[in-house]
Amino acid sequence: MTLALQPAIGILGGTFDPVHLGHLRMGIELGETFQLAKVHIIPCHEPVHRAKPSASPLERLEMVKRAVADEPSLFADDREIRRQGPSYMIETVLDLRNELPNTPLCLLIGIDAFLHFQSWYRWQEILTHSHLIVAYRPPYQLPTEGLIADLIKERLQEDAAYVHAHLAGGILLRPMTALEIAASDIRKQIAMQRNPRYLLPDVVLDYIHQQRIYY
What is the CATH T-level fold of the domain 9-180, as seen in this structure?
A: Rossmann fold (3.40.50)
What is the pLDDT at residue 27?
Answer: 98
pLDDT in tens for each of the 215 residues of the chain? 456 899 999 999 999 999 999 999 999 999 999 999 999 999 999 999 888 999 999 999 999 999 999 999 999 999 999 999 999 999 999 999 999 999 999 999 999 999 999 999 999 999 999 999 999 987 778 889 999 999 999 999 999 999 999 999 999 999 988 788 999 999 999 999 999 999 999 999 999 999 999 99
Q: Is 166 helix (H, G, I), strand (E, B) or coil?
A: coil
Give the separation between CA 30 and CA 21, rounded to whole angstroms: 14
CA nearest neighbour of 11 among 56, 58, 45, 44: 44
Instruction: Report domain extents, the chain.
Output: 9-180
- The answer to whether residues 22 and 118 touch, using CB atoms and an 8 Å cutoff, is no
171: which strand partners?
132, 156
pLDDT of residue 2: 55
For residue 75, the cross-strand partners are: 40
What's the pLDDT score for residue 137? 83
pTM of the model: 0.95
Tell me if the bond preceding 139 is cis, omega within 30° of 0: yes
